[in-house]
Amino acid sequence: MQNASSQDLTFESLKRPLAYRFFNTLGSSLNTIGLAKTVLDVDSLLETAKKATRLDDFGSQSFHVPLNQLVDSLKSEAQLNFVGKNLSKKMLVELLSERLRVQEYIKRNPETLSEKINRPLFVIGMPRSGTSFLFNLLCQDTNSSCIKYWELYNPPQSFIQDKQLDQAIAEKALLEKCTKELVKKKRLMPQLDQIHAIDALGPYECFHLLERDFVCHTFGLYANVPTYIERIESDWMKADPEASTSLYKRYYQQIQVIKNLHSQLLYSQGKPTQEVDKHWVFKSPVHLWAIDEISNTLPDASFVHIHRDPLSVIPSICSFIALGRAVLSDQVDLKKIGKTALHRWSTAIDRALNIRREHPSLKIIDVHYGRFIKDPVNAVRAIYHQLDYDFPSKLEENLSQYIYKSKKSGRGQKNKYSLQQFGLEESEVRDSFQNYYQFLSSI
């Protein structure tokens, strides 16, 4: 919806919870007089994570450069409020703690790095282009594996600390913790369910695994960190050979950890290991920047690239960014968000199309959003046919049930926005995506 009245626009109607407003005001006042000062300091973040996990091996040290740049941008550019500083610190410590736990799990279970991720399928496309809906449909196949939201935080801290602790008990505790954290997140951003449905037990995109290396565009969703984003989009990482090759290597290892945990749990329960032959499904718009790196790391990877008119996608992206940044900052510049989003995602699409031209052997299927929405079941059937996957009879029923429940819930379907709200005109969007429109007309 591009012509929503101003009173109906999602961002304009944002209401912060009372508790948020109270703590933000109180904390800001105390911070002014030096009684509640939150400092973002890399050394302190590292030490806090080590203390929380009782671990000290982060693996490759290549993450230090992007982490330092991210922290610098958060401090100098993001205009974080009191809550924003504390949430940012919590997020960074959690990412570092997860990195430590993954490294420890691999050291204790070296066989993890022998896990095979079969015929991985990546759903790519710009945010707000139907990637989540398509991804969730592909995950309805019982012959596929995917990462659940709560599994992104595996291995559990309690499982790492106590070698004798039952894995099922540790994972149950982790699930409960993730469920509670997700409830808190939805309280901070009351409109989240309207625009992007998330369930702790449901499939979720895998960008979080890249965030543990601190090279990920999603940090630009949470906060205004333009210098950091410019750096990761440039060739600066290539100055460090280890950094440029390790990002998707570590991403792959983290998937291996999750699969190994699947297998270990099934084995401990005396169940047949059914994970071996399943193909895996992943999704994240950030993969548009790295189709070639993914293919180099996972040579048998396939991609489903979903396409939607940028005139619909860009204002929706902007609205989502505005909502995310309003959690951490009181200064949300809608027009700056508009200009930045237009540049960032037109650049991402151009990069993806260039990679495709340079590597014609990549296995990529193109899906038009409009045709997909009209008949999603047959769209999935066509994808399976082109990838030579078996389409079990039960899958059509599973797809139909998911589509019915999704439409009935209305979750993730109520974002309202306009180009003008973000200082953009239709002609600007068409000019920025000129190459993309030409591509769309050719397929």
The string of pLDDT tens digits covering residues 121-163 is 999 999 999 999 999 999 999 999 999 999 999 999 988 887 6
Is the pTM for the entire model greater than 0.85? yes
Q: Tell me the two tokens of residue 211.
A: 């965030």
The residue whose two tokens read 């890399």 is: 42
* pLDDT band at 1; cut points 50, 70, 90: very low
Per-residue pLDDT, 64:
94
Give the pLDDT confidence score for residue 69 in this predicted structure. 96
Answer yes or no: is pLDDT of 31 > 70: no
CA distances from 74 to 39, 78, 131, 234 (A): 11, 5, 29, 19
- Output the pLDDT for position 270: 63
Report whether pLDDT(309) > 70: yes
- pLDDT score of 245: 59
**pLDDT confidence of residue 166:** 85
CATH of domain 6-441: 3.40.50.300
End-to-end alpha carbon distance in the chain? 25
